[in-house]
Amino acid sequence: MEERAALLARVSAGHGTEIKDPATGEVIGRVAFGTPGDVAAAVDTAAKAQPGWAALDDQERCAALMRAADAIDAHAEELAYVVSREQGKTMNGLGARYEAAGCAAWVRATASTPLPVEVLVDDGQSRAELHYRPIGVVGAITPWNWPMIIACWQIAPALRMGNTVVQKPSEYTTLTGLAIAAVLNEALPPGVLTAVTGAGDVGDALVRDPRVGKVMFTGSVKTGMKVIEASAGNMPRLTLELGGNDAAIVLPDVDPQAIAEGLFWGAFINNGQTCAAMKRLYVPDAIYDEVVDALAALAAKIPMGVGLDEGNVLGPLQNQMQWNVVNRLVEDAKVRGARVVMGGDPDAAAPGYFYPKTLIADIDNAAPLVQEEQFGPALPIIRYTDLEQAVEWANGVDVGLGASVWSADRDTALAIAARLQAGTVWINSHGGIDPRVPFGGAKRSGYGLEFGVEGLKAVSVPQVISG
Ligand code: NAD
């Protein structure tokens, strides 16, 4: 066995469901999926461990998180190997090694963010302070696209604030979820982080458990709505990081060659399977052909293939379900007469869930490829002549995670950014995140914030001490 495969072997069960490499179909391990009945025991463990963990002072919890980040670094290549084999992303580029390094960086940043007591009033007559207390047990439910780092985004702040965590990875990336939990647990006291496996019914049981005081949920809008419904019984607090359909608006004053790379990776990071990837590109008539040509020339040079091959920087889609979504939307665009600039011609007989890099030009804004979240490597490029129309189109969907404006003039870009209905608007880039900067959605992309001080506050109960 390859040395870096040791962690994958460690978290694979000897029996249960076969897990296949999405690039090759090869069996890489087995998972014994849990049932809703397993949730109570996991929550028990977390509930018992919580008072002791909360009793540590903040510095001690931060020190444990720092050791957890060191453990991630020590196992970085093994973690990257697991996620590459199970999720499909390439080892290189903005892929598996990048995700593993991001996990360590985020855990460290979470342990380094100061959260002092806020003195709200101190006028000689009265004094009011705002403290942030632990909630108790946090349920952490993750999707399959960035399965390690999203788990860290949920787990690290929850632990920092004195909560314990029950984590439920996506059923599509269970081995990766178990792997990151195993590595974090090398540095954490027993019971502080527990993983349960299984599908949506297990997630639902976690949301409904009366001892869970907070649910961190990252996934689709549809499931997010179910989580809201399921939470009505016990009212756990919710952070919902849901789907997006991010628009990018290019202004006529840009240099198409200069922005092509930023546009490409904004859209194709992780093969488009990224919540805040650029999913619709609005380009003015005056430079439309130049932008499309520059993107196509760049895209043609980007190697796609099996994730373990060091030369590749884009891999397959993670699963058949997502492949079908992308294929349906592109086929529909073709029927509507949109222009296929490149791609759109998958080889259904080839092994794995590969879908080629696809650029679709001259597409109507009303087409489903524009209006729905494709979550894959197929970018619609919509031509506009009136900037007001482009802003209206950008805002014309029911989600609002990210957006971007591309212009040589910062003031113009800022004025447009202020009008876009999205949790983050990037200027001359798309999708970059930073552990110091809060991240969250507008509209149906969810509510609540992750990262930075805001992210810490979101996994705690504010308490006012007055007098
Ligand atoms: P999904 O909603 O199908 O699943 C997410 C998780 O929820 C999985 O662990 C799943 O088992 C669980 N689940 C399913 N039904 C449940 C229920 N009734 N109760 C509780 N949990 C349940 O999403 P997915 O397909 O895994 O992920 C893709 C989606 O996630 C995309 O829409 C993407 O945009 C979104 N996403 C958002 C962010 C963000 O930060 N906003 C980040 C990554 C992905």
Quick: pLDDT tens for 102-153: 999 999 999 999 999 999 999 999 999 999 999 999 999 999 999 999 999 9
> Which pLDDT band, with edges at 50, 70 and 90, does 92 fall under?
very high
> Would you place residue 359 in the very low, low, confident or very high pLDDT band (cuts 50, 70, 90)?
very high
pLDDT of amino acid 127 = 97
pLDDT digits (tens, 9 = 90+) for 27-37: 999 999 999 99
pLDDT band at 423; cut points 50, 70, 90:
very high
Listed as own residue / partner, the contacts of 420-425 with beta carbons closer than 8 Å and 24 or more positions apart are 420/247, 420/249, 420/391, 420/394, 420/395, 421/395, 422/246, 422/247, 424/276
pLDDT tens digits, one per residue of 160-198: 999 999 999 999 999 999 999 999 999 999 999 999 999
* Residues 6+ positions from 69 with CB-CB distance below 8 Å: 103, 104, 105, 107, 108, 111
Q: To test the ligand 1 pocket, which listed residue (170, 229, 278) has its Cβ within 8 A of the most ligand atoms?
A: 170
Strand 17-20 relative to strand 27-31, pairing: antiparallel
Q: Give how far Cα 216 sits from Cα of 70, 172, 239, 297, 404, Å.
A: 24, 18, 5, 40, 26
Round to whole Å and give the CA distance between 318 and 270. Answer: 10
**Domains of the chain: residue spans and CATH:** 3-242+445-466 (3.40.605.10), 246-427 (3.40.309.10)
Q: Is 441 in the pocket of ligand 1 (CB under 6 A)?
A: yes
Q: Are 159 and 189 in contact (CB under 8 A)?
A: no
Share of the chain above pLDDT 90, in %: 99
- Is residue 62 part of the annotated active site? The answer reads no
Choosing from 99, 241, 373, 450, the catalytic residue is: 241
Per-residue pLDDT tens digits for 258-293: 999 999 999 999 999 999 999 999 999 999 999 999
What are the tokens at 314? 């884009």
- Give SS3 for 19: strand
pLDDT at residue 53 greater than cutoff 90: yes
What pLDDT does residue 278 have?
98
Distance 442 CA to ligand 1 centre (A): 17
Give the span between the Cα atoms of 464 and 467, in whole angstroms: 10
CA distances from 460 to 77, 107, 163, 164, 239 (A): 33, 17, 8, 12, 12
Q: How far is the CA of 254 from the centre of ligand 1 (A)?
A: 36
From the CB of residue 428, how many other CB atoms can be counted at a distance below 10 Å? 17
How far apart, in Å, are the Cα atoms of 392 and each of 148, 388, 389, 416?
A: 36, 6, 5, 11
User: What integer is the mean pLDDT of 373-385?
Assistant: 98
Q: Which of the four pLDDT bands, split at 50, 70 and 90, describes residue 1? A: confident
Q: How far lies 455's CA from each of 138, 280, 459, in Å?
A: 14, 28, 7
Active site residue 103: no
pTM of the model: 0.97
CA angle 354, 355, 358 (to 5 degrees): 155
How does pLDDT run across 244-266, given as a tens digit for each residue? Answer: 999 999 999 999 999 999 999 99
Report how far ligand 1's centroid is from the alpha carbon of 455 (Å): 19
CA gap 184, 40 in Å, rounded: 22
Best mutation site among 142, 275, 454 for ligand 1 pocket (most ligand atoms within 8 Å of CB): 275
Question: Which one of the listed residues 62, 103, 152, 275 is annotated catalytic?
Answer: 275
Instruction: Strands of 311-433 (E only): list them.
Output: 339-342, 358-361, 378-384, 399-400, 402-406, 424-427
The pick from 86, 141, 225, 319 for probing ligand 1's pocket by mutation, whose C-beta has the most ligand atoms within 8 angstroms, reads: 141
Q: Could you tell me the pLDDT band of residue 349, with boundaries at 50, 70 and 90?
A: confident
